[in-house]
Structure 1
Amino acid sequence: MVKGRFSMLNNTIAVNFRELLQFLKSTDFSKAILVAVAVTVPILLGLYFDRLEIGLALCFGAFWSSPSDVSGSYRHKKIGILCSAALVVVVTFIGGYLDLNLFVLIPVLGLLTFTIAYLSVFGFRASLISFSGLLALVLSFAHELQNLEVYQYALFVGLGGLWYLFLAVVWHRINPTGEVEEVFTETYLLTAKFLHIRGRLIESNTKRDDLLSELQKIQVQLTENHDSLREMLIVSRKSSGQSMYNGKRLLVLTQLVEMLETAISNPVNYAKMDDIFSRHRGYMEMFQRLMFRISDQLEKIGHAGSDRRKLPNNRELKECVGRIKEEITKLRSIPKNENLEGFLMLQNLFEYQEKQVEMLRKIKWLLDDPKPEELELIDEEYARKFVALPDYDPKVLVQNFSFASSIFKHALRLAVTVMIGYGVGTIFEFQNPYWILLTIIIILRPSYGLTKARSKDRIIGTLIGGAIAFVIVSLVQNTYVFAVLGIASLVAAFSMLQRNYKTAATFITLSVIFIYGILRPDILTVIQFRILDTVVGAALSFLATLWLWPTWGFLNIAKNFEDSLRAHKNFLIEIGRFYSAKEKLLAPLRVTRKKAFVETSNLSSAFQQMVQEPRSKQRNIDEVYEFVALSHAFLASLASLSSYIQNHNTTEASEGFKSAIAQIGENMDRAMHSLAHEGENTDFSIKNLERSFEDNRSRFDTIAWDFENAVKTGKVRNLQEAYLILEQLRWLFSLSGKMLKLSSKI
């Protein structure tokens, strides 16, 4: 027993040590070091040469430009940092002349805040550039110029941005693949977790609803990671020419995407499987062992990094596959009709696992550095079709300038809250009113759930940081110690910003207090006002999400449904075209498949945001949940159909197949029409929808009966193909009908 506990302790220590090493090698930590160097060096040089004001300007410019340094293509990252530097120069120049009467200053501040925040309509990276501009605007209130003119100070701020860009470029030259490898590691681990949960789902005594909900969340994360990796690998190839490293990693990404989509395309009837496993004992353990081994190997690949010696071998997988294959062959040889259904289901499950094993072997082979002549690299033109680049057309600004746009409402909400925050801080003579503004622009997010979580984490983190700082200040009164602690806290804060915001807020508070401790003797007063300003800013942010043009989930969920239905319909039509075409063109099919997966993930994310909102704002939550579940089931069926026709030699598409696709598509069109015309008379709409669905059902049943009759009479060449496609079409038609009826209720 003691030995067992000792072994568990060793495992825990080993896991924690491995996580610590992963953290120290992460881009979050390296970027935090980069920011610390970028802000510290100018200040030290400014002190040494007695040009502290110039040092501070360079420090602020580097700090404000750093948010754009996020995952993505190297080219886009450099452009993002340059745009941030340019924006902060303009904002700093304007901010230098904001010494106005309070009643004039507050509206000007609101207008500038709205204008800068509104740039977020151009996408995620644009939102980070916008955030840099907001930081520059708020902190322009924190620094009064002594020796420099406003234009000189603004130019030095711009040079600070270029200084950070220089450091980012140097670091990329030193470690060009670090960011890509980190996202791959996370993707391996998430895929391993996804497949492990799939293995747990075949147990009869498990909580399947909870596990299926967790699968949907992981699928959203994986879809985001796949998109990030596509951008980093494909756009880099476009800008710097095709590299062997990017080509190989793109092939690895293709296998990971296929593993996820193969898993999704093989939905399991768990009730039927429980019955079969109860009659054929031992199979569940064998299958689960194989599924867990696949998951374990992906996890080991993730932890191996670039060390080829740590890649797992195939021996265990071969043993698991061989044993299951042998047992299924034995089952097939038993001449009993009651074994037929069990054999078919187990055989299908086995074939699905064989595909996963084969893709896993391919990943290990690619990571083992095969010779270039052994590879068949993906064509650049083909690959670029899978990258969704943001639209920077100025028309986007006009199109979003209305209350129908969530970004417009967020920019307006932020502007009004900043005006109120500055007014409160000035009228009640807070020590540092800009701290209130800083808290607002950091906490206030477009969604209620994220703003609420950030408000809570920010307040708790600030209180913890203030308490720790109070204890340290009470024991130590040394500026050099404060300087070291301030820099260390800054590194810790930036490295934890994306991982744990509460911890990041704690270290941000510590860094601010210690830096002020160097400049000002009354550090305890600083701690008090820091806490007070944070609480006021967090409270204003939270109240703003409730009262100022809130963007509740139920207001936009119909748009998410419509986008999901349209993507599914396009995928369905492309499946029909691929099945019917003589020339099999994979690109359109896979592009529409990718779009369907992305929109399904967006729908899941929208639902998760809706769940985090107040209960009074969760309209039709049961119907929404049902629609999300139906959307996932519909996508799984489409992916299954797509996978079959890509991997098998199929017969010519019959007229019945084409008619069935048309009927399913018509149901989806009517569902989209219902969602887009919510102002229509509901009773009339429901009656019309039900009548049209019944008409479609009767036509579909006729098609299905003709199709099935052709199978029974042997008029279809490939009976297995016909049965599989007929069952999938029936299931798709049933799901489309359910979504059609739900759309009229939501």
Structure 2
Amino acid sequence: MREKRKIYLKTNLRNFRNVFWRYPDRLFALRSTISMAILAIPFIILGIPYYGVTLALGALAGSLSETDDHPKGRVKALTITILSFFISSLAVGLLHNYPLVLGAGFILSTIVFILLGGIDERYRTITFGSVLIGIYAMLSVEISPAWYWQAILLPAGALFHGLLTLILMYLNPWRLLDEQMAGGFITLSTYLEKKAMLFPSRKEDQAAINKDLAMLNINVVNSLEKIKDVLNNYGRELKNPEVLRTYLQRFMLLQSLHERAASSHERHDKLSNEDDTIEVVEGFGEMLRQLSYATRQVAENMLTGTPYHHPLALEWISNAIEDKLKEMDENKAQPLVLLHHNLHRSQISLKYLDNPVEGTSIPRLRQEERSAWERFRAQLNLKHPRMRYALRLSLTFLIGFIIEKQLQLDKGAWVMLTSLFVSQITYSSTRRRLFQRVLGTVTGVILGVLLLQIFTNTAAQVLLMFGSAMAFFYWLRKQYSIAVIFVTTFVLSAFSIITKDGGMNIMIPRLVDTLIGASLSFLVIRFLWPAWQYRQMPEIISKAMQKNRTYLLAIANEYKTASSDDLGYRIARREAHLADNELAQAWNSMRQEPKSKQKLMQHAFSLTYLNHALLSHISAFGVHRETNMPTLENFNEIVLQISDAINEASQLIKPNAQNMLVDLSPLLLELKSQIVDTASGLKKQQLRLLYNIAGTTSKIVDELEKTRKEIVNS
């Protein structure tokens, strides 16, 4: 019997690991839903559902306000969260009968909360939750048994959820780091899988693949930024940085793998169209797919603790490609040697994942150098995007509050709730959220009301409420429009449990308020600082080019010095990728803007594509900085000439720009001549890398000059 219990327990633990533990989104949804259920169900059973549902709403807001911190940091964050929730809900209770004072106070506090959220990512979630709690309090203040109950129940629900989360974190304090690190490897895996489609590929298909790669690169870089922030948060709370060594080394590995994955050594159509090289190119594609699988296995290792098993096929394919390259003609094999070396180093890094070099120093990360006050003060001007967002959101709230009071809307605070979720910093993001919110709410209301006609008893409605809550939390980080459907069914079932009317009386108000709130958000950003992307493009392109230049110079310095502390190099690489992301996002946002504002659309796309190509070629130059390549006699002159050309190009579409003084045509001819005259080997490979960088820079210059002419003519 005891043996059967052990088998049963092991089976359940294995099932839990397979269903939840290896999927952070599912685990987050389960944890949040359980905390809400523990709070609500006892009160529903006792026949006083208002208390239970209000506590659950507090837990929901607390879950949305979680910070990515070490347990010690979470204690501090939870203290601030509960205090801000208490002040926000208490103010609504005290001022409910004084609408003018309540409205003015809520709008001013919104501006303050939004700006405080701009200080740090950890404050951003807390301040968002505080605004959300204020709206929740407005929604249910009229059905509260007394004015003070919400100031007790909402913070209490958030406190319970926070304490439950803290207990789980203290049992496994490294779980958050494991989840973030695993997320980074998963985004890289997706990137590698897409890149494998280039080997082989047709020239006409490559533009679409490269566009997708630029978008996927945004996810990888954002994941790297998130991991860096979490590592810094943990580092602030831990006195001994040695305990973070393993995570820091994995982070360095992930950055290195990303640089190699993002690198581009040759034009892919040129590689794919050669009959003599097609077999090797297909091998590269399979090698990239195996690397994608391997990085997912690393993520699995970090999430579940299961050992990482290096794919045998990856090593076999790498050796097979190497043998094939040795059999090929040297001139045809030459462009493929560096690419193979790059991918081979990636597979070697993964193979010896758990065998780092002994005696290496702990890698350093860049820290925020500005104080909290300096970061807050930097936002206090009308040109700062966050200040503009705070003023737009508060204006939306003001108009919504006036409409609610003048028209005496039933549950009119939903107007502001919708505005809170729809309003975003950019026009394109707000427009996207508007359609997601409206579509999700309409679908959720129809679905919710239909289900409530079927599930008429309290027990069934409780199951519907918490099933909806779990689905909401799961989809929140994946697909916002689906999450809105389930949060709507959650709200309908919750109010049905409290009011016993099947939720029918809030169906129409919910739809009307959603349409009003979404429309207000859209109209306000349409006419108040919409920040059309065609106006931002010159500055964004210039910034991306300058960051590429800094990255190139940092690589050249590494070639010459090979310093053991490469923090400066890593910062330059990070900032180049962040600038490239900003450019790709700006172009993507331009596609969502009105047709009349999509000026320079084709040029923006071409420059986005070319900048990403330049960054890929510079990355290829960077991944080989440690291969003991011989320094060319005119190495400094070549790099300086390319650097000067990039610098001048960055100014080409700015107002009063001067004509280019640096012409790369002679350099390209010289490099091409040196490539032909140089025997195969590392020197020739270095020349090819520099030629690719110079060639892409020249194409960018041509495109920028076309763009400038169109700007002048228009």
Q: Tell me the alpha carbon deviations over residues 184-216 of structure 1, each in whole angstroms, 9 at most, x when there is no partner.
A: 444333323322332221224471111111111
In 1, distance between residues paired with 2:21 and 2:438? 27
* 3-state SS of 2:285 partner: helix
In 2, distance between residues paired with 1:210 and 1:426? 51
CA change 1:487–1:550 in 2 (3 A) is same
- The alpha carbon displacement at 1:589 in A equals 1.9
Q: Tell me the alpha carbon deviations over residues 219-246 of structure 1, each in whole angstroms, 9 at most, x when there is no partner.
A: 1111111222233345424523558874
- The alpha carbon displacement at 1:128 in A equals 1.7
* 3-state SS of 1:648 partner: coil
Q: Tell me the alpha carbon deviations over residues 105-132 of structure 1, each in whole angstroms, 9 at most, x when there is no partner.
A: 5444433333323333324333322211
Q: Tell me the alpha carbon deviations over residues 564-587 of structure 1, each in whole angstroms, 9 at most, x when there is no partner.
A: 223222222223333344866533
Normalised to the residue count of structure 2, the TM-score between the two structures is 0.86
* Counterpart in the other structure of 1:731: 695
* Counterpart in the other structure of 1:426: 405
* Counterpart in the other structure of 2:446: 467
Mapped contact 1:74–1:232 kept (Cα < 8 A): no
In 2, distance between residues paired with 1:39 and 1:533? 26
Q: Tell me the alpha carbon deviations over residues 285-338 of structure 1, each in whole angstroms, 9 at most, x when there is no partner.
A: 33333333333333444456656767445432333233323322222xxxxxxx
Mapped contact 2:264–2:613 kept (Cα < 8 A): no
The residue type paired with residue 386 of structure 2 is I
- The alpha carbon displacement at 1:450 in A equals 2.5
CA change 1:303–1:384 in 2 (3 A) is closer
Which of 384, 389, 398 is residue 365 of structure 2 equivalent to?
384
In 1, distance between residues paired with 2:187 and 2:514? 35
- The alpha carbon displacement at 1:407 in A equals 1.4
CA change 1:137–1:22 in 2 (3 A) is same
1:636 and 2:616 matched = yes
Within 5 Å, give how 1:33-432 maps onto structure 2: 33-43=30-40, 59=56, 61-71=58-68, 73-99=70-96, 106-141=103-138, 142-144=140-142, 150=148, 154=151, 157-205=154-202, 207-241=205-239, 246-276=244-274, 278-280=275-277, 282-303=279-300, 311-331=308-328, 339-363=329-353, 366=354, 376=358, 379-380=361-362, 382-385=363-366, 389=368, 391-432=370-411
The residue type paired with residue 572 of structure 2 is T
- The alpha carbon displacement at 1:23 in A equals 5.5
- The alpha carbon displacement at 1:91 in A equals 2.3
- The alpha carbon displacement at 1:441 in A equals 0.7
* Counterpart in the other structure of 2:9: none
Identity of aligned residues (%): 18
The residue type paired with residue 64 of structure 2 is P
* Counterpart in the other structure of 2:517: 537
The residue type paired with residue 658 of structure 1 is N
The residue type paired with residue 602 of structure 2 is D
* Counterpart in the other structure of 1:5: none
* 3-state SS of 2:118 partner: helix
The residue type paired with residue 216 of structure 2 is I
Larger mean Cα displacement after TM superposition, 255-264 or 96-105: 96-105
CA change 1:518–1:549 in 2 (3 A) is same
* 3-state SS of 1:376 partner: coil
Mapped contact 1:64–1:84 kept (Cα < 8 A): no
1:479 and 2:458 matched = yes
CA change 1:445–1:528 in 2 (3 A) is same
* 3-state SS of 2:642 partner: helix
CA change 1:223–1:390 in 2 (3 A) is farther
Within 5 Å, give how 1:501-650 maps onto structure 2: 501-522=480-501, 523-581=503-561, 585-650=565-630
CA change 1:19–1:217 in 2 (3 A) is farther
Mapped contact 1:81–1:165 kept (Cα < 8 A): yes
The residue type paired with residue 320 of structure 2 is R
- The alpha carbon displacement at 1:486 in A equals 1.6
In 1, distance between residues paired with 2:566 and 2:133? 48
In 2, distance between residues paired with 1:18 and 1:563? 49
In 2, distance between residues paired with 1:103 and 1:640? 61
Q: Tell me the alpha carbon deviations over residues 489-524 of structure 1, each in whole angstroms, 9 at most, x when there is no partner.
A: 222212221112222112111111111112213331
* 3-state SS of 2:645 partner: helix
* Counterpart in the other structure of 1:689: 659
In 1, distance between residues paired with 2:386 and 2:70? 24
- The alpha carbon displacement at 1:532 in A equals 2.4
- The alpha carbon displacement at 1:638 in A equals 2.0
* Counterpart in the other structure of 2:7: none
- The alpha carbon displacement at 1:466 in A equals 2.1
* 3-state SS of 1:143 partner: helix
In 2, distance between residues paired with 1:178 and 1:425? 44
- The alpha carbon displacement at 1:261 in A equals 0.8
Q: Tell me the alpha carbon deviations over residues 579-618 of structure 1, each in whole angstroms, 9 at most, x when there is no partner.
A: 3448665332222122222222222222222222222222
In 1, distance between residues paired with 2:697 and 2:521? 46
CA change 1:159–1:274 in 2 (3 A) is closer
Mapped contact 1:421–1:437 kept (Cα < 8 A): yes
In 1, distance between residues paired with 2:142 and 2:216? 48
* Counterpart in the other structure of 1:10: none
- The alpha carbon displacement at 1:148 in A equals 5.9
The residue type paired with residue 135 of structure 1 is L
Mapped contact 1:671–1:743 kept (Cα < 8 A): no
Normalised to the residue count of structure 1, the TM-score between the two structures is 0.82
Larger mean Cα displacement after TM superposition, 524-533 or 507-516: 524-533
In 1, distance between residues paired with 2:233 and 2:110? 32
Larger mean Cα displacement after TM superposition, 614-623 or 395-404: 395-404
- The alpha carbon displacement at 1:375 in A equals 5.2
In 2, distance between residues paired with 1:605 and 1:18? 40
CA change 1:26–1:250 in 2 (3 A) is same
CA change 1:82–1:391 in 2 (3 A) is farther
Mapped contact 1:461–1:502 kept (Cα < 8 A): yes
Mapped contact 2:61–2:158 kept (Cα < 8 A): yes
* 3-state SS of 2:364 partner: helix
Mapped contact 2:58–2:156 kept (Cα < 8 A): yes
* Counterpart in the other structure of 1:30: 27
Larger mean Cα displacement after TM superposition, 556-565 or 100-109: 100-109
Mapped contact 1:73–1:231 kept (Cα < 8 A): no
Mapped contact 2:379–2:386 kept (Cα < 8 A): yes
The residue type paired with residue 430 of structure 1 is L
CA change 1:669–1:321 in 2 (3 A) is closer
Mapped contact 2:179–2:303 kept (Cα < 8 A): no
Q: Note the aligned Cα RMSD (angstroms).
A: 3.8
Within 5 Å, give how 1:656-735 maps onto structure 2: 656-674=634-652, 678=655, 680=656, 685=657, 688-690=658-660, 692-694=661-663, 705=670, 719-720=683-684, 723-724=687-688, 727-728=691-692, 730-731=694-695, 734=698
CA change 1:111–1:663 in 2 (3 A) is same
In 2, distance between residues paired with 1:433 and 1:325? 68
CA change 1:315–1:541 in 2 (3 A) is same
1:741 and 2:705 matched = yes
CA change 1:448–1:75 in 2 (3 A) is farther
Q: Tell me the alpha carbon deviations over residues 47-89 of structure 1, each in whole angstroms, 9 at most, x when there is no partner.
A: 7999988767755544433322154555554443333222222
Which stretches in structure 2 are left out of the alignment for 5+ residues?
1-13
Q: Tell me the alpha carbon deviations over residues 409-431 of structure 1, each in whole angstroms, 9 at most, x when there is no partner.
A: 21111111112222222222221
In 1, distance between residues paired with 2:569 and 2:492? 56
Q: How many residues align?
A: 694
Mapped contact 2:265–2:335 kept (Cα < 8 A): no
Q: Tell me the alpha carbon deviations over residues 332-360 of structure 1, each in whole angstroms, 9 at most, x when there is no partner.
A: xxxxxxx4421212333332332232123
- The alpha carbon displacement at 1:725 in A equals 6.0
